[in-house]
Structure 1
């Protein structure tokens, strides 16, 4: 799967009828006496989402997840392969409904299709791991024993029930990733949906059950934003939940880590980023490097954790780069109609507007785009220059279509500028000298460095995750599966 989004956005998604329906939770005895109604970016009501009004169902839900875990752990690989094949067929049959569920929450069509096809590739890759990844290892003879009959085995043991929480911005990919890594490891999964993309989580979990995943192996809970912390804290605290994975903001991730630490529960956190694109002087095509970096900043209106926030250009090439970027940005704004779409909520737009407004008041300059401070979820893309490290827009994830053009003195110092940021998710290096870029990549503290590729890049066979305030642990492939297993030593003396 090529998980780099198309460089040119397709037309904004078709107009369609929104069918207000009920989105249930999926677990035995799920209550139906409380709900909330999410809205589209345009403020239209979407559907009634049945939700927890308190934490009373949590204990039984988690107990059932433990019983289901034992069943799933004992299920043969052959049977699981058949179930995964059924899941793929189920997703293929639901293609239009899944894409529609993305469009109604503000995804441009290219992003909705990217989520759908990327999810199929992820599931196919996890399926391939089921019957190829070793169940463990058998070390050489014990050092302190001369008994040739003594055996030592290290077995990959699934943790048990896992709480999986994924964000709304790439809802199908993030939900399935949060489910399939622990599921492939042999765990049962309790999914807590985002209140902004609950329908997609429901369609995902229901598809798994329809495909043959046993009852209670994957369950689903919804709650409105005001109840989220209470519900999540109760789930983490329950003794049956053995690990947590969370994809979302650094703020919420730190709160989850604190609660998990209190209960000595391991966590996998894939959080925000302040991603950088470094353009070296020897780059063959400066215009392409700038154009691709700009796309990586503005894709999905900046609502991707991998989006580029800062473009570093040398003092020598800064003036030329600024002129080029201004022209590219102006053309892109005029030609890419998806950039006129709204942010998911007014609150998300307000955060970005405040960061840009403060920067302009502190001396930053608007190279391209415009700033509308009205209290709506509209946010026009912008390019800023003359930003400084003491400005919040320089150091804080904007999660909006905002990119800053920044000077660096030389290659020896640019890594220090990048490493001074609190995050560590993605970085791009643009150059004609691959070996030199490899050396520079080794000096940068982040989860991924892409040479002559954009920061928005994720493949199912490659590890994904960050360092510092971007979190810890890795999703994807056998790295993701390993996150939900622990090595158990078994020694046998006949």
Structure 2
């Protein structure tokens, strides 16, 4: 364990007041990271550094930016062992989840590298004689990036890769729950050869976050904001961004439904539900939170799924002997236990479960109804609701009976019927005969309703992090009414 510094203008520096904060291991409670706690002055310095670096970086050629991002991808892959250790100690992640994070995040950097030559404009026919009109995309300026702890490498890299590829400079506010993990990815990307000030990062004590975020959003140099995290905090970010008329990309909470039609392949659905509901202990925004079974498929599915759930036990990830690891902290575990107890008390049938402290085995509750908290609240843990529906229309109604709309899935052997159902689900993402947890670097990723707005991924990210400008070239011939 070592003290972590801020990263501003290409240098590792202590907080201006030498303040620090601790991150403790969720299983043992021991301190595993001590990080610098940025002040408002430090945040301003980070934004200023990014603003100074912007003019030169925005004019850097696409080939040069591409090479740096590809080098960053290789550097990140080379830090995999360090990242596995940090994720295990800071957030209780399993080695498998940590290595998947590194793999997908590396792909995101490679995809971002490919975008440097895809930032295109077009010629538009003009009504003015002797005029050529162009739609041109240009870098926006300083981007404020905020990524969460649950998939810290994937979401951390996602928050900075496309902005950098588009010629923006970045200030990343790292998560208070995984400052060392986020510091490792910042180091890896910087080692790709980025000029000083192009990428900056500040860590902060939890209690300082509101003031720091508000000050950075208000800073005139910040032109774009992206935030991935809870809907509760996302609403605050969106309000602040709106107050200052700054575009924000918000990827927020989820309550992903998986609908099983009567002809669903039960074995395939069981495998997808097991992965979608319990990967990373259910601490994924796309996690399968609701399994909606239509008619007679319900009993068949529950019988098979119960066997799968019983096998998914949890343990200390440092021992590496269990498919599930630890929850991020004790309060998360207690909240999930409360949700389970509420459901059981109101008539839900408990399928498997158990554990103690932050170590919770996989849990499923059958016959979940709207009067139970688990029906509407995002659990963000290793628990899934099974809800019975009498018809396809009822299943769709239940799926849409949520404030969230990020990911979803439909299982059926009749693909056209499944496609019809998929179109009716209010979500940014829907997978037919696949799990709700699915991410690829080149895909448009984002939600609707309380799951946020805007899209990460591929060419769709370019629109989020560039300014679309109208520029004309005219021959100077007067065509004016006065």
TM-score (norm 1): 0.90
Which residue matches 2:276? Answer: 296
Question: Which among 162, 175, 191 is matched to residue 210 of structure 1?
Answer: 191
Deviation, structure 1 residue 47? 2.2
Which residue matches 1:341? Answer: 325
* Correspondence 1:451 to 2:437: no
* Correspondence 1:119 to 2:105: yes
* Correspondence 1:362 to 2:346: yes
Question: Which among 327, 333, 337 is matched to residue 353 of structure 1?
Answer: 337
CA distance in structure 2 between the partners assigned to 1:344 and 1:153 by the alignment: 50
Q: Contact conserved, 1:163 with 1:189, CA < 8 A, in 2?
A: yes
1:188-199 equivalences under 5 Å are 188-199=169-180
CA distance in structure 2 between the partners assigned to 1:198 and 1:297 by the alignment: 26
* Correspondence 1:61 to 2:46: yes
RMSD of the alignment, in Å?
1.8
Tell me the alpha carbon deviations over residues 416-473 of structure 1, each in whole angstroms, 9 at most, x when there is no partner. Answer: 1111111001111111111111111111110111001100101111111101111111
Which residue matches 1:39? Answer: 24
CA distance in structure 2 between the partners assigned to 1:158 and 1:390 by the alignment: 49
Deviation, structure 1 residue 30? 5.1
Q: Contact conserved, 1:301 with 1:339, CA < 8 A, in 2?
A: no
Q: What SS does the corresponding residue of 1:26 show, helix, strand or coil?
A: strand
Which residue matches 1:398? Answer: 379
Question: Which among 297, 309, 313 is matched to residue 317 of structure 1?
Answer: 297
Deviation, structure 1 residue 23? 1.2
Q: Which runs of 5+ in 1 are unaligned?
A: 1-19
CA distance in structure 2 between the partners assigned to 1:400 and 1:88 by the alignment: 30
Q: Contact conserved, 1:84 with 1:127, CA < 8 A, in 2?
A: yes
Tell me the alpha carbon deviations over residues 227-257 of structure 1, each in whole angstroms, 9 at most, x when there is no partner. Answer: 1111111111111111110011111111111
Q: Contact conserved, 1:30 with 1:57, CA < 8 A, in 2?
A: no
Q: Contact conserved, 1:339 with 1:381, CA < 8 A, in 2?
A: no
4+ residue segments displaced more than 6 Å: none
Deviation, structure 1 residue 304? 0.8
CA distance in structure 2 between the partners assigned to 1:471 and 1:308 by the alignment: 18
Tell me the alpha carbon deviations over residues 107-143 of structure 1, each in whole angstroms, 9 at most, x when there is no partner. Answer: 1111011011111111111111112x14311112x1x
CA distance in structure 1 between the partners assigned to 2:54 and 2:378 by the alignment: 37
**Segment of structure 1 superposing worse, 475-484 or 450-459:** 475-484
Which residue matches 2:114? Answer: 128
Structure 1 residues 422, 337: CA separation in 2 closer, same or farther (over 3 Å shift)? farther
CA distance in structure 2 between the partners assigned to 1:444 and 1:83 by the alignment: 40
1:20-99 equivalences under 5 Å are 20-28=1-9, 31=15, 33-42=18-27, 43-52=29-38, 54-99=39-84
